[in-house]
């Protein structure tokens, strides 16, 4: 009798646990009711494209043609190899058949067109801060670019990371769903810089320390960390004087974002060189805004940025 009772309780517990897991990990979508008719601003979409560095990851050959967005680039990480998707206007291989709601869901909720959790190698933890209209303008701009018919390959991710449903639990920890809010007391330039750096620019995604779950640590935010792709170390860009950007001026940072030059006379390389290809296309005002905001980041110990490469 006791064994039967225990068996029933165990069954109830297992069913309850599975039900709870199902509910907690259910992919969320952007509500279509919030999408009101509007005319897209393609110029603003281009700005979001550039500050977001979309070409750096999604271009088939960024040096040859940054607007041919066939994807295919492999991001090799400790969790597996993630293949960057085609985001061109092709209706089959790219985003051509996507709706605005589906694109907003991917950008803000980290959920794909077929209702699957997207891996956070796609930095939706930062994109969730973006304004809805900016995302819609970006989507319209992407659809105005050339179609690439070749589909990117599948991710190469082993167990247990290939169980996408578990990402629902990860999102409970690292995806809060909060859009960017201008900070009272800061001028428009600083708030614009904060928005660009923390939202579409997603600078923290590379320039931060992460824990064993792949989440950014609060104490290591913007303090640099191991390159997710295993190639070297991403530098500290906080205002720590010893190993960060504390001694850099706003003009130094503006020049870095425009031409890739450092105060010591060197130039950035590798992934940051690709970033500069994008930030160089921004307006001088936006580069200034980003530089001004970076100078307000709290100092955190990390590793110094390279003086020259």
What pLDDT, on a 0 to 100 scale, did the predictor assign at position 24? 77
Q: Are residues 257 and 159 both part of a single domain?
A: no
Q: Are residues 91 and 221 both part of a single domain?
A: no
Residue 63's pLDDT band, with cuts at 50, 70 and 90, is confident
10 vs 67, higher pLDDT: 67
Taking residues 283-300, what's their average pLDDT?
96
Domain membership flag for residue 13: no
Taking residues 97-115, what's their average pLDDT?
97
Domain membership flag for residue 219: yes
Biggest alpha carbon–alpha carbon distance for the chain: 81
Q: Are residues 168 and 193 both part of a single domain?
A: no
Taking residues 223-241, what's their average pLDDT?
84
The pLDDT of residue 265 is above 60: yes
Give me 131's structure tokens.
């304004």
- Percent of the chain exceeding pLDDT 70 equals 90
Full residue range of the structural domain in which residue 63 is found? 34-174
What pLDDT, on a 0 to 100 scale, did the predictor assign at position 193? 98
DSSP state of 218: S
Of 174, 202, 220, the position where a domain reaches its end is 174
Provide the mean pLDDT of the chain: 90
Residue 20's pLDDT band, with cuts at 50, 70 and 90, is low
What pLDDT, on a 0 to 100 scale, did the predictor assign at position 308? 41
117-147 residue pLDDT tens: 999 999 999 999 999 999 999 999 999 999 9
The pTM of this model reads 0.90
Residues 27 and 255: their CA atoms lie apart, in Å, by 42
The pLDDT of residue 307 is above 70: no
- Bridge partner residues of 65 (DSSP): 61
Q: Are residues 42 and 148 both part of a single domain?
A: yes
Handedness of CA 174, 179, 182, 184 (dihedral sign): negative
Residue 264's pLDDT band, with cuts at 50, 70 and 90, is confident
Q: Are residues 163 and 239 both part of a single domain?
A: no
The pLDDT of residue 289 is above 50: yes
What pLDDT, on a 0 to 100 scale, did the predictor assign at position 278? 95
Give me 300's structure tokens.
């955190």
Burial 245-267 (b: 16+ CB within 10 A, else e): beebeeebbbbbbbebbbbeeee
What pLDDT, on a 0 to 100 scale, did the predictor assign at position 270? 82
SS3 content of the chain, % helix, strand, coil (to 5): 40, 5, 55
Q: Are residues 51 and 166 both part of a single domain?
A: yes
- Percent of the chain exceeding pLDDT 90 equals 72
Domain membership flag for residue 111: yes
What pLDDT, on a 0 to 100 scale, did the predictor assign at position 298? 94
Residue 4's pLDDT band, with cuts at 50, 70 and 90, is low
138-184 residue pLDDT tens: 999 999 999 999 999 899 999 988 999 999 999 999 999 999 999 99
């Amino acid at each position: 009798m006791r064994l039967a009772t225990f068996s029933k309780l165990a069954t109830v517990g297992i069913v309850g646990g599975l039900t709870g897991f199902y509910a907690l990990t259910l992919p969320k979508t952007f509500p279509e009711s919030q999408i009101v008719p509007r005319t897209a601003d393609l110029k603003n979409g281009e700005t979001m494209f550039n500050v977001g560095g979309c070409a750096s990851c999604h271009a088939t050959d960024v040096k040859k043609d940054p607007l041919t967005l066939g994807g295919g680039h492999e991001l090799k990480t400790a969790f597996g190899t993630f293949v960057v998707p085609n985001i061109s206007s092709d209706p089959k291989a790219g985003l051509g058949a996507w709706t605005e709601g589906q694109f907003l869901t991917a950008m803000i909720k980290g959920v794909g067109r077929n209702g699957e959790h997207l891996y956070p190698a796609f930095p939706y933890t930062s994109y969730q801060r973006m304004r809805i209209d900016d995302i819609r303008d970006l989507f319209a701009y992407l659809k105005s670019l050339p179609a690439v018919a070749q589909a990117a390959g599948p991710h190469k991710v082993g167990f247990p990371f290939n169980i996408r449903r578990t990402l629902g639990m990860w999102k409970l920890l690292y995806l809060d769903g909060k859009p960017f809010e201008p900070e009272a007391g800061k001028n428009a330039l600083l708030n614009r810089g904060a928005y660009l750096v923390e939202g579409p620019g997603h600078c923290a995604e590379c320039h931060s320390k992460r824990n064993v779950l792949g989440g950014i640590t609060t104490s290591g935010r913007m303090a640099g960390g191991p390159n997710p792709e295993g190639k070297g170390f991403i530098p500290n860009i906080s205002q720590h004087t010893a190993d960060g950007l504390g001694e850099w001026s706003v003009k130094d940072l503006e020049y870095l974002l425009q031409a890739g030059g450092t105060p010591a006379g060197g130039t950035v390389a590798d992934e940051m060189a690709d970033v500069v290809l994008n930030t160089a296309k921004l307006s001088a005002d936006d580069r200034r805004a980003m530089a001004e905001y970076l100078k307000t980041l709290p100092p955190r110990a990390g590793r110094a940025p390279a003086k020259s490469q």
